[in-house]
A = this chain, B = another copy of it.
Amino acid sequence: MKAEIITIGDEILRGEIVDSNKARIAERLLLLDVETHFQVSVRDHPEDMRHAFRTAADRADVVVVSGGLGPTRDDRTAEVIAATFGRKLIVHGPSVAAIRRFFERAGRPMADTNLKQAMIPEGAEVLPNPVGTAPGFTLRAGRARFFCLPGVPRELDRMLEEQVLPRIEADRAAAAGQGSGRVVRARLLRTFGIGESDLEALVSDIARRPPAGGVEVELGFRTSFPDNLLRPVVRAPSAGEAEAALERLCRELRTRLGALVYGEGEQTLEAVVVRELARAAPPTRPGRPPAWLAVAESCTGGLLAERITSVPGASAVFRGGVVAYSNEAKRDLLGVPADLLERHGAVSDPVVRAMAAGALGRFAADLAVAITGISGPTGGTPEKPVGLVHIALARSGPTGTSVDTASFVFPFDRARHRRLTVQVALDWIRRALLGVDLALPRWAPHARGGTAQPRAPAAGSTGGAA
């Protein structure tokens, strides 16, 4: 099955917005193993739209159209698709009623133009929109089945899930003869701290496993800096078998990869950290969650705090942070001794250790992370090159404070240096909460042209009282 995606809107063609709908539709279709061969965007102009619809009807089996279903004059998808394939536009009674109900529920007056959204090409099947006014529709033209959907991401997502994917699956089952179709199920495992080729090597035997009992397994890999993502895909004769096999496969992969897997799907590392903090019972207050976190940042300049506080509910676990961009701030707000700064410099193991211990104390936290480094583009020396970063994790325990530290040289530009450094810091917090080793076992980041080198002391625990 070949798919084509068509998105409609002048603002896309003028480059005013980066259209992410094409990627989200393609990703969903791939869950059913349907590959997108063409992505096309056109203006709200009937001639261009007609050209795109006709071309797609000739070369694709599934065409997903997004946009152009709104109430304004510029929204022309229904009208143009009807004209392109020689159909009339008709009023769809149930959609008129649904649109009226939508406005009643919202307590807003309905404009007459909204009724335009109930005009559907003759013979099309209406796809209800549970979260907006514009219904979608599906019709067959040329070799293709068209699905016309609204461009609002929330509405698009819901309708893809509920209306489009099941129909594609049913079409395929019907084409293959009742009941004999193949069902595909997939998930996405997010890993951090391992390079793409090392990740592949760790699971290569699973990827090469031959089909058994009609169940095939495939592993996909991709990089989303600084993470590496693993996509297990299962094909089986029935949905039940596919789901059971996928569940078994994911359990096996998680057992194999251990703490390298931090989450699934769209989960972020900061969301996992906030969740684990909320669950944790710190050793100084056993049985009384949550654990409290504080941070001290120099070169990452607030990015670590920002990532954590972007998670709703972070205020229950996050006490605060200091962005210590000057030596004086490190001294006055974190209590780093002036002579440490003088003797070792701001980017050093003793200073990052003192920053973490200082943050732990000042914020009365259970865990504190500190970062100091040189993100560039300037500021390096032969001994302390651009890219050098020290990270420390301090924990308060019943017998005092322990601090782990490590340093790295990350040879990336300023923005990616900061992103990668923050990801290491978040991962350390997660690992500390899970009670596993902080060390990054197979560190080889995955960005093109870059390799990170653990610096002596290599990413290891140097725990002890601070």
Residues of A within 8 A of B (CB): 11-20, 22-30, 35-43, 45, 48, 51-52, 55, 59, 222, 224, 295, 297, 300-306, 308-310, 312, 314-315, 318-326, 328-329, 332-333, 362-364, 376-379, 414-415, 418
Residue from B37, B45, B304 in contact with A302 in the complex, judged by beta carbons closer than 8 Å? B304
Contact A306 B302 (CB under 8 A): yes
Query: Which residues of B are found within 8 Å of A305, using beta-carbon distances?
Result: 301-302, 305-306, 323, 325
Given contacts A15-B23, A318-B326, A326-B363, 11 further A-B contacts (CB under 8 A): A14-B27, A14-B35, A15-B22, A15-B27, A18-B19, A37-B45, A301-B309, A302-B321, A319-B325, A329-B362, A333-B363
Chain B residues near A364 (CB, 8 Å)?
Answer: 328
Please state the number of chain copies in the assembly.
2
- What are 13 inter-chain pairs, A to B, with CB distance below 8 A? A14-B26, A15-B26, A16-B224, A19-B22, A37-B48, A38-B52, A51-B59, A295-B323, A300-B309, A302-B323, A318-B326, A320-B325, A321-B323
Residues of B within 8 A of A324 (CB): 320
Could you tell me the distance between the alpha carbons of A323 and B332 in the complex, rounded to whole angstroms? 15
Q: Which residues of B contact A378 (CB under 8 A)?
A: 312
From B39, B297, B363, A12 is in contact (CB under 8 Å) with B39
Known contacts A18-B18, A302-B303; is-contact A377 B319 (Cβ 8 Å): no
Which residues does chain B contribute within 8 Å of A40, judged by CB atoms?
38-41
Given B12, B13, B300, B318, which contacts A325 in the complex, CB threshold below 8 Å?
A: B318
- Docked Cα-Cα span, A171 to B209, in Å, equals 58
Bound CA–CA A42/B35 (angstroms): 11
Report yes or no: A13 in contact with B42, Cβ–Cβ below 8 A. no
Known: A18-B20, A319-B329. A37 touches B43 (CB 8 A): yes
Residue of B nearest to A59 (CB): B51
Contact B55 A39 (CB under 8 A): no
Is the Cβ of B310 less than 8 Å from the Cβ of A414?
yes
Closest to A418 in B: B310
- Tell me the smallest distance from the CB of A371 to a CB of chain B, in Å: 12
Contacts of A312 in B (CB 8 A): 376-378, 414
**Cβ A322 vs Cβ B325 within 8 A:** no
Report yes or no: B333 in contact with A320, Cβ–Cβ below 8 A. Answer: yes
Q: In this complex, which of A42, A48, A363 has the most chain B Cβ atoms within 10 angstroms of its Cβ? A: A363
Contact partners of A18 in chain B: CB under 8 A = 18-20, 22-23
Separation of A39 and B51 alpha carbons in the complex (Å): 13
Name the B residues within 8 Å of A379 (CB-CB): 315
